[in-house]
Amino acid sequence: MDQQQNMVTYSADRLLEFTARVFEHFEIPAADARLAAEVLSASDLRGIESHGVARLSAYVGLLREGEINPRPNLKILRETPSTAAIDGDNGLGLIVGPRANEIAMDKAAEVGTGWVTVNHSNHFGIAGYYPLQALKRDLIGWAMTNSSRMVAPLWGAERMLGTNPIAIAFPGEEEPPIVMDFATSAVAFGKIEMADRKEQPLPLGWAIDKQGRETTEPEAMMDGGALLPVGSDRDRGGHKGYCLSAIVDILTAVLAGANWGPFAPQFVMRDRVAPRDRRVGKGLGHFFGAMQIAGFMDPAEFKQRIDDWIRTFRATKPAAGTPGVQIPGDPERAAEADRREHGIPLVMPVVEELREVSRITGVPLD
């Protein structure tokens, strides 16, 4: 645990163990606690710190206040051979998500594909975790989730949609898999916060103020403004980003029976002004898909084709002044290799939150 630049580095195993024991402390069964910890750990390992143990304290807050059910019984509300609609019984998304994803994968193994909506859930970690599980079963996995409002639809001046991520992964044979996992906003809210802290202007195209005008001031976004969808403005295809975010919102929430659009519950991180009086469904919603490769093509042939695709795209003539074309998943895989070897560096505010969690639960951290 070297301490430098206001960071403390922990091994992934150490954090995983700590997280699992913290969840167990709140009456979550051991296997589920470990599963939830693994989802958070996957995020830290892949370099997406915002969705890893940095959120543990928020989950703990919800668990302490009894706002999350530690022992959810998932209910299948509707079912066909290739679909299911699930009520997550207000469990941790980190537990409900993986179970629902299993159902999608089981259906894919049975009838070629499986598609599962989930309502009454909570934040499920990084979307990319789920298609990574599907890869282990030779399936092409999809995951989407809605989230609390942060993004304006094109030509709107208020937050109506979450950053609503989409993830999907494709296996290679000799090459590592292609893993896509991206929010449908131009940027993450964290980038606005960071610019605010550093007192730096935002690039145009990230955010609007509360009148809906593009702004370069972090505060103007934070004070009643909104993020823009990917594409930013009409000229550059902001309507496409709005469509994408809306697709995620409709599949994960309207179709799932969860709270859609502006009614998605707020995560507890900072502001917590859930418009509960205007609930239009239950909790947060997710959408999982799994497709048998063999339902379309010989899996070995597909993987060779993916290898060929990867090598061809890597060999793209690079744009002047750039590192050249990357394959989706490259940065996260590089982060994981580094962090498995050298540990996961946490900034001091997160370390302090974890120490507080340790005090509350009696689970030792350091």
Please give the residues from 313 up to 332 whose contact with a copy of itself meets the rule CB under 8 A. 313, 316-326, 328
Residue 248: name the closest of 99, 133, 157, 124 by CA.
124
Cβ at position 232, least distance to a copy of itself in Å: 6
Query: How far, in whole angstroms, is CA 44 from its chain's centroid?
Result: 12
Q: How many CB atoms neighbour CB 293 within 10 A?
A: 19
170 binds a copy of itself (CB under 8 A): yes
252 lies in the site for a copy of itself, by CB under 8 A: no
Residue in the structure block whose two tokens are 């934070």:
222
Which residues, numbered 22-61, are part of the site for a copy of itself (CB under 8 A)? none
Q: Which of 231, 265, 283, 345: binder of a copy of itself (CB under 8 A)?
A: 231
Q: Distance between CA 118 and CA 283 in Å, rounded?
A: 9
- DSSP 8-state secondary structure symbol assigned to residue 185: B
Name which of residues 65 to 104 contact a copy of itself (CB under 8 A): 78-83, 85
Spatial separation of the C-alpha atoms in residues 76 and 118, rounded to whole Å: 9
Q: Is 285 helix (H, G, I), strand (E, B) or coil?
A: strand
DSSP 161: B
Burial (CB count within 10 angstroms: exposed 0-12, middle 13-18, buried 19+), residue 264: buried
User: 28: which DSSP letter?
Assistant: -
In the complex, least distance from residue 272 CB atom to a copy of itself, rounded to whole angstroms: 22
By CB under 8 A, residue 242 contacts a copy of itself: yes
- Is residue 275 a contact residue for a copy of itself (CB under 8 A)? no
- Is position 163 an interface residue for a copy of itself (rule: CB under 8 A)? no
CA distances to 10, 94, 360 from 18, rounded to whole Å, are: 11, 16, 13
Min dist CB 94 to a copy of itself, Å, is 23
Residue owning tokens 């606690």 = 33
- What is d(CA 149, CA 8) in angstroms, rounded to the nearest whole number? 32
Site string for a copy of itself, 180-219 (x = CB under 8 A): x-xxxxxx---------------x-xx-x--xxx------
- Closest approach, Cβ 19 to a copy of itself, in A, equals 29
Minimum CB separation of residue 63 from a copy of itself in Å reads: 29
Residue span binding a copy of itself (CB under 8 A) among the ranges 32-40, 46-54, 151-159, 267-275 = 151-159
Q: Which of 296, 337, 347, 348 binds a copy of itself (CB under 8 A)?
A: 296
Told to check if 256 binds a copy of itself by CB under 8 A, we report yes
Check residue 243 for interaction with a copy of itself (CB under 8 A): yes
